[in-house]
Amino acid sequence: MSLMKLAYQDIIVINDIEYKGSRNINTNQIRIPYTEEPDVGIDDIIKVKLGKRENAYKVSDCKFMKNGTLKMGTVHPHMLTLIIKDLAIKERNDVSSSIFNISSINAEQLQIGNNNSQNINITLKELVEKLSKTEDEEAKNLFKKILENSSVAGIIGAGATTLFGML
């Protein structure tokens, strides 16, 4: 395989014209040797063919270097260096924001927004105290059954008797 084929293996599409080039994702750069200057500028969208797929990139900067290749690895004399942003990464990182106008809130636990999670921490003592203040006998009886369970009593220990007495 010739050096020319190794140096510029990627296919870059600019305005439906294919160019051979090389991309370096670590530096977000694409280098394209050219003879006729490609029509590309800042904020243009270019594509890189990856097998049967294409990745789209937005050009954030470009540098045209006359005689920049020294014809090493290519027959083209000039070099175009593009600084790019991967549009697929941007789409994955985009977060839609919503505006909530709330005039009054009266709650102990509240969740507002997208993709939130809510953690509720309550001690057994707090749970029993709140249950004891309700008129819900079914809930109280169910919790008593839980406290009477030998496995639960073994985990809670002597505190189970105290909690049971609170109900």
Predicted model pTM: 0.52
Looking at the predicted structure, is the pLDDT value of residue 17 above 90?
Answer: yes
Could you tell me the CA-to-CA distances from 55 to 89, 92, 122 in Å, in that order?
10, 14, 49
Which residues, including other chains, have CB under 8 Å from residue 17's CB and lie 6 or more apart? 38
Per-residue pLDDT of 103-153, as tens digits, reads 667 766 666 666 666 667 778 788 888 888 888 889 888 888 887 888 877
pLDDT at 128: 81
pLDDT at 50: 86
Alpha-carbon gap, residue 146 to 137, rounded angstroms: 14
Quickly name the fold that domain 3-92 has.
Answer: Thrombin, subunit H (2.40.10)
User: Average pLDDT of 82-90?
Assistant: 82
User: Average pLDDT of 83-92?
Assistant: 75
pLDDT at 19: 94
Tell me the pLDDT band of 1, cut-offs 50, 70 and 90.
very low
Ranges for all domains in the chain classified under CATH 2.40.10: 3-92
Which residues, including other chains, have CB under 8 Å from residue 124's CB and lie 6 or more apart? 156, 159, 163
Half-sphere exposure (Cβ direction) of 162: Cα atoms closer than 13 Å: 8
